[in-house]
Amino acid sequence: MLNSNCQVVLAENVVAIVDITMNFFITKERSMNSNELKYFSEHELFSLPDATALPFTYLFKCMLVKIRRKLWGRFADKNTRFVWTINTVSDVDGPAANVRNYIERQTIRSLLRDIKGQDLLRSACEIGCGYGRLTMVLKEFAKNVSGFEREKHLVDLAQRLLPDIKFYQVDGINNIDPNKVGFFDLVMVCAVLQHLTDEYCRSVISTMKKLTPDGYILIIEKTEAISVTENVTKGNEFISRARPVELYEEWMKPYALIKKKERVLENTYFNKHPGTCMLFKAP
């Protein structure tokens, strides 16, 4: 039988062990120091997130998922669909993401400035808005702004970040009923159609026309075949494809292309021609 002093010491040691264990597995780590910095390349330091600051349990889960993906996941996940996360909405983060967001918002402003005139538009929306990275710019041009997104976790985040914008979680961005959500003076879609099959893309375009029968549609998509995938028909897997401006013009009829501008991203991005901004007007 341990005396009271030994019991106290044992209890303190157990608490300390539990505390260390919890810190190791759960607590977010500090940033790396100058000695640790030398183990990473310049590309890793400036293009990738600092994974050393993430909780061990999260890293462990990520490792298990990567192992599963390489082994039995390829067979077990055949009937699942690709899910968009915060990191896949924009394929850069950190300093590069800040520069990209600034450039893209400036481009959108330059395209929409002429159609706004003296007064704000009545309403505008973004289709496939993610967490609202670009949706917020529409508030500068319209009194009421909405965003439509399939992924619930992105909608929840967007609504918390931008409470003055109404975000809708939809089963499909090709199935948005204007009788339920209203009509819009402007509909925007950015880097969404390039990840869809032709059939799904055309159905989304048809939906956008229904949402703005008398307004404008801004399409920002990949138009040159750079870094595209072989897959163009399996909608549940990742697709990255390019469609020329002329094809969008054909599919958008009777809407007319009134303005176009090259999509510009940060200078460090590998693709120097990531797409075209195309502004269409209803007949």
Q: How do residues 79-111 score in pLDDT, each as one tens digit?
A: 888 899 998 899 888 899 999 999 999 999 999
User: How many CA within 13 A on the CB side of residue 259?
Assistant: 15
- Rounded to a whole number of angstroms, the distance between the first and last alpha carbons of the chain is 91
d(CA 274, CA 135) in angstroms, rounded, equals 20
Contacts of 36 (CB under 8 A, 6+ apart): 52
Res. 13 pLDDT band, cuts 50 70 90: low
Predicted confidence at residue 117, as pLDDT, reads: 74
pTM comes to 0.85
Q: Which residues pair with 189 in a beta bridge?
A: 127, 219
52: left (phi over 0), alpha (psi -120 to 50) or beta: alpha
What is the per-residue pLDDT across 131-156, written as a single tens digit (0 to 9) for each? 999 999 999 999 999 999 999 999 99
Q: Which residues pair with 218 in a beta bridge?
A: 188, 279
Average pLDDT score, the chain: 89
Percent of the residues in the chain that have a pLDDT greater than 90, as a whole number: 66
d(CA 116, CA 128) in angstroms, rounded, equals 23
State which of 49-58, 65-74, 106-115 shows the largest mean pLDDT: 106-115
Percent of the residues in the chain that have a pLDDT greater than 70, as a whole number: 89
Alpha helix segments (H runs only) across the chain: 4-25, 34-37, 42-47, 56-70, 73-76, 86-89, 95-116, 152-161, 178-181, 198-211, 245-252
Domain boundary assignment for the chain: 4-76, 86-281
Domain 86-281 is in which class?
alpha beta
Q: How many other CB atoms are there within 10 angstroms of residue 7's CB atom?
A: 11
For the chain, what is the largest distance between any 2 Cα atoms, rounded to a whole number of angstroms?
Answer: 91
Res. 116 pLDDT band, cuts 50 70 90: confident
For the four alpha carbons of 221, 227, 230 and 235, in that order, the dihedral sign comes to: negative
Radius of gyration of the chain from Cα atoms? 24
